């Protein structure tokens, strides 16, 4: 990641280091229910602490809309972090002002502190210069380790990088390295798998990928819109007929760019989306008018496997069917497991992320077997769309 400053570029001994993390984690009854995002931040926190920094963690949590709300406090997250680190973690009742200063002042080298939710202040999302200055008052250096928030030009994600010496943390560095390897400078052939419900949420993504990938696999309900645009009857399936012209435009762009567009040839249909519903496999030309497409058929799964087998690099975003409701998880599970085997057996670089992707790969039991799985959501999608991310741009050398 030579284009960006990293922890290797900073002398942190004895310095107060403001670290932007993403601790916007699932919570129930005051307890963290999924600590994945906290776990991702641990390497940076531990490295800085070991090098003698005073580590001060900044994060948003939920949508308090610019004012303090107890249900959006980071205090329970600080406790969860302490449990993972196996040591004390200080907590400041505010991220600026006297509470923040008092906490920062009593830290000694190697200590870790969590400051209260940055979104308790309206200046955070506005990237207000005065709020940036107030945050910076308690730091000597700034490290951004929250790629998942890098698509937002907020005070703690972008503003601080312009007023303090700044660098990417290890999680941010890894994310950028893998995404660059997957999309900016991939080993070819590059195959992209895109699923999910709607084209409308992924127009920019699809348009960018057809100009970069050697093959683009379309699954999920969005494939219905492409089929419908070809004049295929999709029965009672979810589709977006008003985007037929957009689907045709994407298909034409793929043809011009030499990107093979892989659409379903057979599908699984049922009369309702419910667990254990009676279903059957039909060709896409024979979808009954009163039934809905809920998964891809075995011939399509075989075609996807053939594309993945030929690939050197794979980018995956979105499930291929209604995976939350068996038996309509088959295409997602089988394709994901095949990709995971190719990673292990053939050195495939497989990078996935965004939306329901992590849940789908966890459901298939292979999230840990892909080369890299991003938990970044919106930022991952905007990167795939080819958009500039303010939080990343600010870290460039």
The percentage of residues in the chain with a pLDDT greater than 70, rounded to a whole number, is 99
245 Cβ neighbours under 8 A, 6+ residues apart: 229
The CATH code of domain 177-384 reads 3.40.50.1260
Rounded distance between C-alpha atoms, residue 108 and residue 181, angstroms: 39
Is 50 a residue whose pLDDT tops 60? yes
> Averaged over 64-90, what is the pLDDT?
96
Q: What is the pTM of this model?
A: 0.87
Fold of the 7-170 domain:
Rossmann fold (3.40.50)
- The residue ranges of every structural domain in the chain are 7-170, 177-384
Are 263 and 218 a contacting pair, CB within 8 Å? yes
- Output the pLDDT for position 54: 98
The percentage of residues in the chain with a pLDDT greater than 90, rounded to a whole number, is 89
Which residues, listed in sequence order, are joined to residue 28 by a DSSP beta bridge?
A: 31
Tokens at 139, concatenated? 């730091």
Are 64 and 125 a contacting pair, CB within 8 Å? no
Rounded distance between C-alpha atoms, residue 356 and residue 354, angstroms: 6
- Output the pLDDT for position 2: 60
Whether 7-170 and 177-384 share one fold: the answer is yes
Rounded distance between C-alpha atoms, residue 279 and residue 270, angstroms: 5
Where residue 1 falls among pLDDT bands split at 50, 70, 90?
very low
Positions marked active-site? 37, 198, 355, 378
Q: Give residue-wise pLDDT tens across range 377-390.
A: 889 889 989 899 99
What is the number of alpha carbons within 13 Å of residue 191 lying toward its C-beta?
Answer: 21
Tokens at 262, concatenated? 């892989």
Q: Give residue-wise pLDDT tens across range 171-212.
A: 999 999 998 888 888 999 999 999 998 899 899 999 999 999
Is 274 a residue whose pLDDT tops 70? yes
Among residues 314, 383, 390, the alpha carbon closest in space to that of 351 is found at: 314
Instruction: Write down the mean pLDDT value for the chain.
Output: 95
Among residues 33, 80, 36, the alpha carbon closest in space to that of 358 is found at: 36
């Amino acid at each position: 990641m030579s284009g960006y400053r990293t922890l290797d570029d900073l002398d942190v001994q004895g310095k107060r280091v403001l670290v932007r993390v993403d601790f916007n984690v699932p919570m129930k009854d005051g307890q963290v229910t999924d600590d994945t995002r906290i776990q991702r931040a641990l390497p940076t926190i531990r490295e800085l602490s070991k090098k003698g920094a005073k580590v001060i963690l900044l994060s948003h949590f939920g949508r308090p809309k610019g004012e303090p709300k107890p249900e959006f406090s980071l205090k329970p997250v600080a406790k969860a972090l302490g449990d993972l680190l196996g040591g004390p973690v200080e907590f400041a009742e505010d991220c600026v002002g006297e509470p923040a200063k008092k906490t920062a002042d009593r830290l000694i080298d190697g200590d870790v502190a969590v400051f209260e939710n940055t979104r308790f202040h309206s200046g955070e999302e506005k990237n207000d210069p005065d709020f940036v200055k107030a945050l910076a008052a308690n730091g000597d250096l700034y490290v951004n380790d929250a790629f998942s928030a890098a698509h937002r030009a907020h005070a703690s994600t972008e503003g601080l990088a312009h007023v303090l010496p700044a660098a990417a943390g290890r999680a941010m560095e890894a994310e950028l390295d893998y995404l660059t390897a997957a999309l900016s400078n991939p080993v070819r052939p590059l195959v992209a798998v895109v699923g999910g419900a709607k084209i409308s949420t992924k127009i920019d993504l699809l348009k960018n990928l057809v100009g970069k990938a050697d093959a683009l696999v379309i699954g999920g309900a969005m494939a219905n819109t492409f089929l419908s645009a070809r004049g295929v009857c999709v029965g009672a399936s979810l589709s977006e007929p008003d985007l037929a012209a957009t689907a045709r435009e994407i298909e034409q762009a793929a043809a011009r760019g030499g990107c093979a567009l892989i659409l379903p040839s057979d599908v699984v249909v049922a009369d309702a989306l419910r667990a254990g519903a009676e279903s059957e496999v039909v060709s896409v030309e024979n979808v009954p008018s009163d039934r809905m497409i809920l998964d891809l058929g075995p011939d399509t799964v075989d075609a996807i496997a053939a594309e993945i087998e030929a690939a050197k690099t794979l980018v995956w975003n979105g499930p291929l069917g209604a995976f939350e409701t068996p038996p309509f998880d088959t295409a997602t599970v089988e394709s994901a497991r095949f990709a995971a085997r190719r990673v292990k057996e053939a050195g495939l670089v497989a990078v996935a992320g965004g939306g329901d992707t992590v849940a789908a790969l966890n459901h298939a039991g292979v999230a840990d077997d892909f080369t890299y799985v991003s938990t970044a959501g919106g930022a991952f999608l905007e990167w795939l769309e080819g958009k500039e991310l303010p939080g990343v741009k600010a870290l460039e050398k």
